[in-house]
Structure 1
Amino acid sequence: MSMGAGLSVLMAEDEWLAAEVLAEALADAGFTVLTAPDGLAALEMAAGGTRFDLLLTDLRMPRMDGRELIARLRAERPDLPVVVMTGFPPPDGADALHGGKAPLRLLTKPVEIAPLVAALRAVAGLT
């Protein structure tokens, strides 16, 4: 079985180059990656019926930040596993973003691929 186990990741990342690099690395690890340039685009994809297993999001993005994206998606899917990657972690850490029982991991940028894959696998319950 591949490391990503065929899971689909919705990634909201406003830095185009970072998104490209992450998407390619996650695809190499066996994930299917759907990319959105910001939180609003990711929310629109989800509302439009795009199927995904995990959310990978930046916090600081134009139009809609990661915190609001997590809240809006989890309003519909309270069990949605989330990995947050940010250069500006909240002072109270992942607890500030949690809002629910579903797993959430917080990674500080720059994010390396191995810990990112491990975090995605962990929130998906594959570890």
Structure 2
Amino acid sequence: MDILIVDDDKSITDVLFDYLNIDYSLNIFNDPIRALECYKSNLNFDAIITDFYMPILYGDGLISRILALNPLQSFIIISGLITDKQKDILHEFKASIQVIHKPFKLKDITLALEEIKNKSNI
């Protein structure tokens, strides 16, 4: 699986890299704008793992822009706080979006990726 990971917190992306790099092909960014540029040049990611609260571009903004390019893209959002209003916004996208709350267990990330893999027959 090819995965795009976006989180402004380098310690989070470092942990995800260490945990996932053996089994998955990873592209990691701490800047959502650079991640979006990467996505535009390669629309073939099986999953995107992103934080919700990031400087410059929140997760819902990133998701909106990516879904405009590929409405079938799957997402995993990792965030310390997702309000009901934000859940409603995410639901309006009508996309495959899973939410994992910080602090998270690495096993939860693996399970979410396996669910995407099983749904997509990757």
Name the residue aligned to 2:2.
8
Residue 99 (structure 2) aligned to one of 71, 95, 106:
106
| Among 3, 6, 21, the residue aligned to 2:15 | 21
Asked whether the 8 Å contact 1:94–1:105 carries over to 2, the reply is: no
Give deviations 1:7-54, integer Å, cap 9, x for gaps: 0110001101111011110123x1111101122111011123364211
Q: How does 1:20-99 map to 2 (within 5 A)?
A: 20-28=14-22, 30-49=23-42, 51-92=44-85, 94-99=87-92
- SS in structure 2 opposite 1:97? helix
* Unaligned segments of structure 2, at least 5 residues: none
Q: 1: distance between equivalents of 2:56 and 2:86? A: 23
Q: How many residues are aligned here? A: 120
* RMSD (Å), alpha carbons: 2.0
* TM-score, length-scaled by structure 1: 0.84
Structure with the largest fraction of helix: 2
CA contact (8 A) 2:43 2:70 kept: no
1-structure distance, mates of 2:54, 2:101: 15
Q: Which residue of 2 aligns with 1:4?
A: none
SS at match of 1:14: coil
Q: Give the Cα–Cα distance (whole angstroms) in 2 for the partners of residues 69 and 92 of structure 1.
A: 17
- AA matched with 2:33: L
Report Cα offsets for 1:76-112 as digits up to 9, x if no partner.
1100011000011122564431344432100100111
Q: TM-score, normalised on structure 2? A: 0.87
List structure 1 runs of 4+ shifted beyond 6 angstroms: none
Q: How many angstroms apart in 2 are the aligned matches of 1:16 and 1:36?
A: 9
Q: State percent identity of aligned pairs.
A: 26
Q: Per-residue deviation at 1:65?
A: 1.2
